[in-house]
Amino acid sequence: MGEPLLSSSPFQGSQPARLWIGTYDLNGTMVGERDVAQLSKWFLAQKTREYDVVVVSLQGTRTPRKTSRAYSGPLEAVVKKCLNLVAEDTSSEYSLLSSCQESGTHLMVFVNSSIPFRITEVEAATVVLRRSTFSEKRGAVGIRAAFNKTTVCFVTAKFSGGFADYDERNREYATIAEGLQFATNLRGIDDHDAVFWAGNFNYRIGLRWDVVMDRIKRAEDEGSEELRVLYDNDQMAVHMRAGLAFSYYTEAVVRFAPTSTFQVGSDAYQTESIPAWTGRILCKPLKAKQVAYDSVGEVRISDQRPVYAAFELEVSPQEKILNRKPVPQTEKQAQPRVEETALGKDDLTLRSPQPPAPKSSVPTVPLEASIRVETWSRDRNLQLTHEFLHEMRNGKYWQTKKHRRRVRVAILDSGIDMAHPEIATRSERIVDTFCPIPGLEDQGNQDKGGHGTHIALLLLQIAPMVDLYIARVFEDAKGITDDYVGCAILHAVNGWQVDVILMSFGFKFWVPSISHTIRVAAFNDVLMFAAASNEGANADIDLAYPARETNVFDIRATDHLGNRYMYNPPWDAGARWTFATLGEKVLSAWTEGQMLPKSGTSMAAAIAAGTGALLLDFSRLPALKGQAPRHLEHVASFDGMRLLLEACSSRTPDNLLYIKPWLVFSKKGFDRGRIANYIDDVLDEHFG
């Protein structure tokens, strides 16, 4: 059979179960006899041998609640007919072992009449992800069985769509992983020897449409290796490595073109949707070899393409074998035998399995993720960070609440890439731009280096409801001057009338002109955050400028455990207030539609500024039940914000105040009244 995609161990003393697993989103298309010829191409694509078990996962089946049960029979009959057309040259036939559906998601398991092992303990279970309508079908289905003594579980689902809705998709994965249970001994998905997921998981590619199409075209001409850039920017691949979804699971490297979204009946992709690998198949086998993973472009029933995978799963030996009498065959036609295809390791390779992430009933979400990165450690702090960001992205405490005025944040950096997919989905939050650099006015705020875009998206992850004002003060790190910075600060204060200014850059020496504008900003109660510097103890100074200004929050970086970042400048271990937060390997937007992990106090300053903006944003909400809080107006002051940031922090062994926003927000359950009282109590210690 050639080099396997996945191999845990060779089979010893037992015959493997040969599995074929496929997934296809019909997108509401009613499948009937007329589609047998097309669907058969899906099952014929890997006809190098017979399979003992065939698992068919369908999403978007046209099954309104009132007629779903009546429709399931014909659908199963169509699939069964396709399978038996494929098996015409043998004396065996496929029969339906189990079938179950929920809200437009259908899972069927067929078995060959000559399977060499016993199948017992067959059971199905479902999970409703959301109340479904005819146009929005949201459900998950699981079917389990024992192959001899080896327990196997198959799961299918259709996750939420939308380019930026990966946090919702991660949440839905967590809901299914925790909530799908079988009646027998209350077994869950993870209580099986082998688990296979096949479905439309709807994760997208984090690149622009034209970049994706260019790579697809190049792959057609030069080979599938050209798809590597797309795979490196695939959201699901990164989320798996970050432990945010499908922990423990493995997926073979995708070497076929994106399977979504096409013009129906055509091989042309839709121009309004970025192509993506939405249909995926993953496994967590005990001992298995994966021998195929591909899509079938000839099947054009819907706007997507079907995907299939083939496995050989080691089954524990058992004395008794299930003997099924062959079903009599009629009018069997002779068909040439297809020679077994060798799959070389250069054609099909596999990512290494993912290390485990902590199980949690609360779903997690990444800062941003669209590239392959090294595995993060799984710990409680990282988990809480992601949970907090999930709550922020959902905007729980903003719903149905009216602000007096949105918080305005000015970012002084290298500009912003408005064409980046993640920025484009948040374009309404970018209110205005400004560029004081002579000769660059015609380029506006277009970010050529990526730093400003990275910072802007990161801040919006923490405080998604603020208004951003972008000032481009340098084209690259070497081109920054005090004149541009001073001009931008005055424009932010007097022109934009912002509440927060973020400066993720630094000078080596004190700059008088900037010092003057900072005093103007402080006089107008503008909160300012700056990066401490990234030169460690080798720097000529202990702290960069303007981070060393007394009216500016200087922010240092840590890893996700709160350990200090190695390039932090020195600090006074006896000082009361030295703030730091996550700044190492932080994923966010970069140039050319990419998502890249970056490290430094710049990233930490953005997270700290976002936390400050979030606290300030909260203080702008109307008073609870007409009772004006005593001290919320002090949130906008330097001393008030310093007290609140301290309340959001825990001290590290190095005496850094490690900012963890959930200490105030998630701890209080996003109850507006309790958070207001808590903030008032914190401020009362100083202003009361």
Scored b (16 or more CB within 10 A) or e, 335-372 reads: eeeeeeeebeeeebebbebbeebeeeeebbbbbbbbbb
User: Which string of DSSP letters, residue by residue, matches 25-36?
Assistant: E-TTPPP-GGGH
**Environment class of 409 (CB within 10 Å of its CB; exposed 0-12, middle 13-18, buried 19+):** buried
Distance (Å) of CA 334 to CA 89, 94, 358, 627? 6, 18, 54, 85
Tokens 């067929």, located at residue: 110
Q: Coil, strand or helix: which one is 536?
A: helix
At 194, list the tokens.
Answer: 């082998």
Could you tell me which of 157, 166, 176, 156 has the C-alpha nearest to residue 235?
166
* 390 in catalytic set: no
Tokens 């499908």, located at residue: 246
Q: What do you get for the CA distance between the two ends of the chain, in Å?
A: 77
Which residues contact residue 159 at a Cβ distance below 8 angstroms, ignoring those fewer than 6 apart?
168, 169, 172, 173, 199, 200, 201, 202, 203
Other Cβ atoms closer than 10 A to 12: 8
Cα–Cα distance, 17 to 463 (Å, whole number): 51
Give the containing element (helix H, strand E) for 220. Answer: helix 209-222
Indicate left, alpha or beta for 592 from its phi (over 0: left) and psi (-120 to 50: alpha): left
From the list 602, 619, 649, 666, the catalytic residue is 602
Q: How many CA atoms lie within 13 A of 358 on its CB side?
A: 16
* 192 in catalytic set: no
Which residues contact residue 496 at a Cβ distance below 8 angstroms, ignoring those fewer than 6 apart?
408, 410, 431, 432, 469
CA of residue 443 relative to chain centroid, distance: 32
From the list 192, 239, 390, 451, the catalytic residue is 451
Active site residues: 413, 451, 602
